[in-house]
């Protein structure tokens, strides 16, 4: 249904329910006509009794929608209001499910339902005073007349942000809509100021403790303990309160590696290419604008080390020790790559990991053989004697047996011969072709009697179109004949077959 209605302005559906909103009657008629024509084109018919047109209110999926916004459905509110107190865990789960469905109308729902959710963990189920208070609180919230209003662009919009290493109070002056940019930052801030000039706004500074809703998204909570050596080496003696969350994240990533953070930072600066990138970032330049391409254009600087997304960029001098550490447990290429993608990066890291793992002598010594390919199946023949599988069995009771199987009917022929040469094989098959006709395809193994030029000439002269061979050292590809070879040999062995009784026993078997 989504595909059918695609492109119709404002038209939405939930399975076979279609909703067409409009801000006026003429607009409604236009969209409705286009929708009905689209449905007619695809052969979809509507039930007139279930259709409602030009209604100011609509109930759908437990909500009532009107010009004021979204309300909870009246019948759902009545059901909640008249519902008895839950007496079993199942009844309480139903109530919590209803509350969760209307969670958009209830602030702090998780905290307010905590006493009720705790009751589900107790045995036996017992209603408590705290549960009763929480139950009545949620019930009152559910039956109260809250309305979810649509976004109104004409009203003021407050945007709370936090994306800097320190609380940038100077931004209130730098980006002030009525003041010019300071000389010191005009080269770096001109583009931002030019873009913001198209808007009517005020920049208001709020300290960290008053901006926690946005501050939490950009900063990691301070840990209770910190390695003093790393703290001094990474932050140059800065106060702990000045540490940035990105720095702490980078430090956490580096602590998983077999090299120290200051070692990575030192080798990064020594590297001619990476050292230049570090200098550009420290100068506040945008890497993409000064000519760097992805992924280098996405590098950032944290804890004096380069980061690509969440991964530490490793200079060339430290890559081999890290590869050795990744391969310590001989976990294989796939797991090595997965582990590396969590912590480290350098261009060509996947190729280096593959080369490291493939060159490991111990991994090669203990590697398992590749699994057998078992997805190939012979196409089923269109009629009897269309494809015939042949193979020799024996010696059995001093003789060789030529096993011939029709792939269509599973008809089995077993011919006794004292020789398995090409000449003897041709003689047997010539008799069978005279009795049953010439097959389209012959399937055999790579025995010399079947690969000989004389046998090939015989098949061409007889009218056999295709001669297919099984894969070398994989007899299962001629499975029809191989299976019957085993069956014939096992059966004759169980019958205690001798040379004199061989033909008699074969006749009984067939």
pLDDT digits (tens, 9 = 90+) for 449-486: 888 999 999 999 989 889 988 877 676 767 777 788 88
Sheet containing 58-60: which strands, arranged edge to edge?
Answer: 58-60, 63-66, 69-72
The CATH number that applies at residue 315 is 1.10.340.70
Q: Looking at the 3D structure of the chain, how many domains does it have? A: 5
The predicted model scores a pTM of 0.32
Predicted confidence at residue 95, as pLDDT, reads: 83
Which residue, 192, 305, 185, is CA-closest to 257?
305
User: The domain containing residue 174 runs over which residues?
Assistant: 165-206
Return the SS3 of 275.
helix
Which residue, 247, 232, 376, is CA-closest to 303?
247
Looking at the fold, whether 201 and 298 belong to one and the same domain comes out as: no
In percent, the amount of the chain with pLDDT more than 70 equals 80
Average pLDDT, the chain: 79
Average pLDDT for 376-392: 83
- Residues 151 and 484: their CA atoms lie apart, in Å, by 76
Looking at the fold, whether 357 and 404 belong to one and the same domain comes out as: no
Looking at the fold, whether 255 and 307 belong to one and the same domain comes out as: yes
Looking at the fold, whether 105 and 181 belong to one and the same domain comes out as: no
Predicted confidence at residue 495, as pLDDT, reads: 82
Q: What is the DSSP string of 89-146?
A: HHHHHHHHHHHHHTGGGSTTHHHHTHHHHHHTTSSS----HHHHHHHHHHHHHHHS--
Answer whether residue 49 is part of any domain.
Answer: yes
pLDDT at 307 over 80: yes
Return the SS3 of 187.
helix
45 to 37, 38, 40, 114, 246: CA distances (angstroms): 11, 11, 7, 48, 58
DSSP secondary structure letter of residue 65? E
Return the SS3 of 154.
coil
pLDDT at 228 over 60: no
What is the 3-state composition of the chain as percent helix, strand, coil, each rounded to the nearest 5? 45, 10, 40
Answer whether residue 65 is part of any domain.
Answer: no
Looking at the fold, whether 427 and 360 belong to one and the same domain comes out as: no
Predicted confidence at residue 189, as pLDDT, reads: 67
- Residues 425 and 455: their CA atoms lie apart, in Å, by 8
Predicted confidence at residue 227, as pLDDT, reads: 38
In percent, the amount of the chain with pLDDT more than 90 equals 8
The CATH number that applies at residue 134 is 3.30.70.270
Average pLDDT for 97-104: 80
Predicted confidence at residue 454, as pLDDT, reads: 92
Looking at the fold, whether 298 and 358 belong to one and the same domain comes out as: yes
Looking at the fold, whether 250 and 341 belong to one and the same domain comes out as: yes
Average pLDDT for 11-24: 83
- Residues 214 and 160: their CA atoms lie apart, in Å, by 6
- Of 213-227, 230-244, 265-279, 444-458, where does mean pLDDT reach its minimum? 230-244
The CATH number that applies at residue 471 is 3.30.420.10
Tokens of 150: 């649509």
- Residues 206 and 159: their CA atoms lie apart, in Å, by 12
pLDDT digits (tens, 9 = 90+) for 143-162: 777 656 666 778 787 777 76
Q: Tokens 């390695």 belong to which residue?
A: 227
352 and 405 Cβ atoms separated by less than 8 Å: no
φ, ψ at 245 (rounded to 5°): -60, -35
pLDDT digits (tens, 9 = 90+) for 416-450: 888 889 999 999 999 988 888 899 899 888 888 88
Predicted confidence at residue 223, as pLDDT, reads: 39
Sheet containing 466-469: which strands, arranged edge to edge?
Answer: 412-417, 399-406, 387-396, 441-444, 466-469
pLDDT digits (tens, 9 = 90+) for 321-359: 888 888 877 778 888 888 888 888 999 999 999 988 888
Answer whether residue 6 is part of any domain.
Answer: yes
- Of 202-206, 362-366, 381-385, where does mean pLDDT reach its minimum? 202-206
Answer whether residue 404 is part of any domain.
Answer: yes
Predicted confidence at residue 272, as pLDDT, reads: 92
Predicted confidence at residue 235, as pLDDT, reads: 39
pLDDT at 48 over 60: yes
- Residues 357 and 252: their CA atoms lie apart, in Å, by 26
pLDDT at 240 over 80: no
Looking at the fold, whether 15 and 123 belong to one and the same domain comes out as: no
Looking at the fold, whether 82 and 48 belong to one and the same domain comes out as: no
Residue, of 507 and 238, whose pLDDT is higher: 507
Tokens of 66: 């009107």
pLDDT digits (tens, 9 = 90+) for 356-365: 888 888 888 8
pLDDT at 271 over 90: yes
Looking at the fold, whether 96 and 40 belong to one and the same domain comes out as: no
Average pLDDT for 304-313: 87
pLDDT at 238 over 90: no
Predicted confidence at residue 149, as pLDDT, reads: 63
pLDDT digits (tens, 9 = 90+) for 108-132: 888 888 888 888 888 888 888 888 8
Answer whether residue 67 is part of any domain.
Answer: no
Answer whether residue 220 is part of any domain.
Answer: no
Which residue, 304, 314, 251, is CA-closest to 323?
314
Looking at the fold, whether 444 and 356 belong to one and the same domain comes out as: no
Looking at the fold, whether 458 and 498 belong to one and the same domain comes out as: yes
Q: Which helix (H) or strand (E) covers residue 227, if one does?
A: none
- Of 7-11, 67-71, 226-230, where does mean pLDDT reach its minimum? 226-230
- Residues 417 and 434: their CA atoms lie apart, in Å, by 18
Tokens of 57: 């209110």
Average pLDDT for 252-256: 64
Average pLDDT for 51-65: 82
Answer whether residue 155 is part of any domain.
Answer: no
- Residues 221 and 363: their CA atoms lie apart, in Å, by 42
- pLDDT band at residue 177 under the 50/70/90 scheme: low
- Of 13-27, 46-60, 243-257, where does mean pLDDT reach its minimum? 243-257
Residue, of 394 and 208, whose pLDDT is higher: 394
Residues 6+ apart with CB under 8 A from 493: none
pLDDT at 317 over 60: yes
On the 0-12 / 13-18 / 19+ scale of CB atoms within 10 A, 237 is exposed
φ, ψ at 96 (rounded to 5°): -65, -35
Core vs surface per residue 247-258: b (16+ CB within 10 A) or e: bbebbebbeebe
Answer whether residue 213 is part of any domain.
Answer: no
């Amino acid at each position: 249904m989504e595909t059918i209605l695609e492109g119709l302005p404002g038209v939405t559906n939930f399975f076979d329910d279609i909703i067409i909103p409009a801000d006026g009657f003429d607009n409604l008629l236009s969209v409705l006509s286009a929708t009905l024509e689209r449905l007619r084109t695809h052969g979809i018919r509507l039930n007139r009794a279930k259709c409602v047109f030009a209604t100011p209110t609509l109930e759908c999926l437990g909500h009532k929608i009107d010009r004021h916004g979204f309300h909870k459905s009246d019948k759902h509110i009545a059901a909640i209001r008249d519902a008895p107190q839950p007496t079993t865990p199942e009844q309480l789960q139903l109530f919590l499910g209803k509350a969760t469905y209307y969670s958009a109308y209830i602030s702090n729902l998780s905290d307010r339902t905590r006493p009720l959710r705790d009751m589900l963990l107790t045995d036996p189920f017992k209603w408590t005073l705290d549960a009763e208070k929480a139950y009545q609180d949620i019930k009152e919230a559910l039956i109260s007349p809250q309305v979810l209003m649509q976004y109104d662009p004409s009203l003021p919009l407050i945007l709370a942000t936090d994306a800097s290493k320190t609380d940038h109070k100077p931004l209130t002056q730098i980006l002030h809509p009525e003041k010019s940019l300071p000389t010191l930052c005009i080269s770096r801030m001109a583009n931002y100021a030019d873009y913001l000039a198209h808007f009517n706004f005020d920049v208001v500074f709020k300290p960290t403790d008053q901006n926690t809703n946005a501050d939490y998204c950009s900063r990691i909570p301070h840990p209770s303990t910190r390695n003093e050596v790393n703290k001094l080496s990474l932050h140059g003696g800065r106060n702990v309160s000045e540490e940035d969350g990105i720095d702490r994240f980078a430090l956490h990533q580096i602590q998983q590696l077999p090299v120290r953070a200051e070692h990575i930072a030192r080798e990064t600066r020594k590297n001619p290419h990476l050292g230049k990138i570090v200098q550009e970032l420290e100068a506040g330049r945008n890497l993409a604008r000064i000519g760097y391409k992805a992924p280098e254009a996405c590098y950032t600087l944290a804890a004096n080390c380069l980061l690509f997304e969440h991964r530490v960029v490793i200079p060339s001098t430290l890559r081999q020790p890290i590869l050795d550490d990744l391969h310590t447990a001989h976990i294989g290429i796939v797991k090595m790559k997965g582990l590396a993608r969590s912590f480290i990066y350098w261009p060509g890291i996947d190729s280096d990991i593959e080369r490291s793992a493939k060159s490991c002598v111990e991994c090669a010594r203990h590697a398992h053989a590749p699994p057998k390919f078992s997805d190939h199946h012979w196409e089923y023949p269109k009629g009897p004697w269309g494809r015939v599988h042949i193979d020799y069995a024996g010696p059995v009771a001093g003789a060789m047996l030529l096993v011939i199987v029709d792939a269509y009917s599973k008809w089995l022929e077993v011919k006794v011969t004292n020789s398995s040469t090409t000449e003897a094989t041709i003689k047997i098959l010539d008799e069978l072709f005279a009795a049953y006709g010439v097959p389209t395809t012959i399937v055999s193994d790579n025995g010399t009697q079947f690969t000989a030029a004389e046998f090939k000439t015989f098949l061409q002269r007889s009218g056999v179109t295709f001669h297919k061979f099984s894969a070398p050292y994989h007899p299962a590809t001629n499975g029809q004949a191989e299976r019957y070879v085993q069956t014939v040999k096992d059966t004759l062995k169980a019958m205690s077959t001798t040379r004199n009784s061989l033909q008699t026993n074969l006749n009984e078997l067939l």
